[in-house]
Amino acid sequence: MSSNVREDIMAAARRAAQAHGYTGLNFRELAAEIGIKSASIHYHFPTKTDLGAAVAKRYWEDSQAVLDSLWNGGADPAGALRAYPGTFRQSLENGNRICLCSFMSAEYDDLPDPVKTEVSAFAEINLAWLARVLAAATGQDAAACGRRASAIFAAVAGAQLMARSRADIALFDGAIEGYREAGLLPA
């Protein structure tokens, strides 16, 4: 265990949520994994809602940083679009997990409002980034880029879900290649 228990909790909660969703955030199980008492988790996150919202917020903030590192107004927007699916592929490479916010989105009706807010933010930052990069790459208007951004986001998240359900990352890669061949993503 590291000296920063809060960060250990966040890391364990992220892994649990990527494998089991919001329902996988069990304080006793997380505490056992980390090697602390569940009361220590309650000290940092009084409720499951607090923990779920914090983990989802950290996830979208980390995702925003990754997206900004791919493209933040630079010279190669098409290259950034080609790299985008890799941000989802990484979860599959890590124990056949999926995007934390995608998993939690499937549980949306059962999520507490603070968690819903953070889960929705993940989709919004992805859609805004995709639309911005698409506009730079294609010169199309904002409305057209927004529609295509939605299609790309849904397609890549769907490819991840399909690959996870069969524990076969090659399915993800094949779907992404199909999106490139169809023109949804740049080749």
Spacing of C-alpha 158 from chain mean position: 12
| Average pLDDT over all residues of the chain | 95
Q: Give the pLDDT confidence score for residue 156 in this predicted structure.
A: 98
Q: Which domain holds residue 172?
A: 53-182
Domain count of the chain?
A: 1
Radius of gyration from C-alpha coordinates of the chain: 18
Mean pLDDT of 148-155: 97
Confirm whether 31 is domain-assigned. Answer: no
Query: H helices of the chain, where?
Result: 5-20, 27-34, 38-44, 48-70, 77-93, 100-106, 113-138, 142-165, 169-182
pLDDT attached to residue 3: 66
pLDDT class for 72, splitting at 50, 70, 90? confident
d(CA 71, CA 83): 10
For residue 97, how far is the Cα from the chain centroid? 10
Q: What is the pLDDT of residues 157-184, one digit of tens each?
A: 999 999 999 999 999 999 999 999 999 9
d(Cα 66, Cα 99) in Å, to the nearest integer?
14
Q: Which residue has the higher pLDDT, 103 or 142?
A: 103
Of 56, 89, 83, 91, the C-alpha closest to 67 is 83
In a domain, 100, yes or no: yes
Query: Is 168 among the domain residues?
Result: yes
For residue 1, pLDDT over 70 is answered with: no
Q: Please tell me whether the overall predicted TM-score, pTM, comes out greater than 0.85 for this model.
A: yes
Q: Is residue 15 in a domain?
A: no
Q: Is 20 inside any structural domain?
A: no
At residue 2, the pLDDT reads: 54
* 62: in domain: yes
Q: What is the C-alpha to C-alpha distance for residues 135 and 133, in angstroms, rounded to an integer?
A: 5
Assign 11 a pLDDT band (cuts: 50, 70, 90). Answer: very high
CATH number at 170 reads 1.10.357.10
Q: By C-alpha distance, which of 71, 72, 87, 93 is closest to 163? A: 93
